[in-house]
Amino acid sequence: MAFWNNPNVEPKQKFRFLVKIGSQTLYNVKSIDKPTFTVDTKTYTMLNHKFKFPGIPNWEPISMTLVDMQSGGASSIESQLNKMIQQSGYSIPISNSPLTATEKASMGSKSFKSAFGEGSGASTASGYAGTIDIIQLNSDGLPIDHWKLHGPIIKSISFGDLSYESDDLTEYKIDIEYDFATYAPGEP
């Protein structure tokens, strides 16, 4: 008997998810990659045999696509992304006080905090903006899978394109690197 005939089994569906940066839920995320884990392999040759051993583990970058919207006086995603760039240590070359390399290095993790953490009421001591949560939901809206990305930094931001030939939504794509990911089933 196939699983779809069993009333107690429900397949997971891609469109049921939430993304949180710190304590703020982003409701305008169109798509996001789940983490990908890879391991470098090392080969050891002994006489006429080759043996493979695991090497250094690596968490691959993810991409997130956001849809922008106008909502009264609230800041747009484009504004928040620009704030993230500024807080990542980027200093406009015409600025009178460029950042030193040390200042830039220390500001990397502040980018998510500055754009999505202010006013959230979360404690800075807990490193609330130092994580991104990807939560997959069931049909009742309850969490079934929870990935937490630790130490996220911006790898790239694409502000999309504009065209008179299209009535598509304005989208932005962010490529994110992170130190590691943790998984927990159910509630975050």
Task: Using alpha carbons, list the distances in angstroms from residue 51 to 47, 56, 89.
Answer: 11, 16, 45
Q: Record the pTM.
A: 0.74
The rounded distance, in Å, linking the Cα atoms of 117 and 101 is 24
Q: Which of 77, 149, 151, 82 is nearest to 110 (CA)?
A: 151
pLDDT by position in tens, the chain (length 188): 566 677 778 888 899 999 998 888 888 899 999 999 999 999 989 888 999 999 899 999 999 999 987 765 556 777 778 777 777 766 666 655 656 666 655 555 555 655 555 443 333 433 335 789 999 999 888 999 999 999 898 889 999 899 999 999 889 999 999 999 999 987 65
Q: Which residue has the tokens 């009421």?
A: 121
Which tokens hold the place of 174?
């962010």
Q: Residues 46, 53: contact at Cβ < 8 Å?
A: no
Which pLDDT score, from 0 to 100, does residue 63 have?
Answer: 96
SS3 state of residue 70: coil
Which pLDDT score, from 0 to 100, does residue 108 have?
Answer: 53
Residue 181's DSSP bridge partners are 149
The rounded distance, in Å, linking the Cα atoms of 143 and 74 is 28
Q: Residues 80, 100: contact at Cβ < 8 Å?
A: no
The rounded distance, in Å, linking the Cα atoms of 100 and 159 is 27
Residue count (the chain) = 188
Which tokens hold the place of 186?
């159910």
- Identify each DSSP E strand in the chain by its residue range: 17-21, 24-26, 29-32, 36-46, 49-60, 62-67, 131-137, 143-150, 153-158, 171-177, 180-185
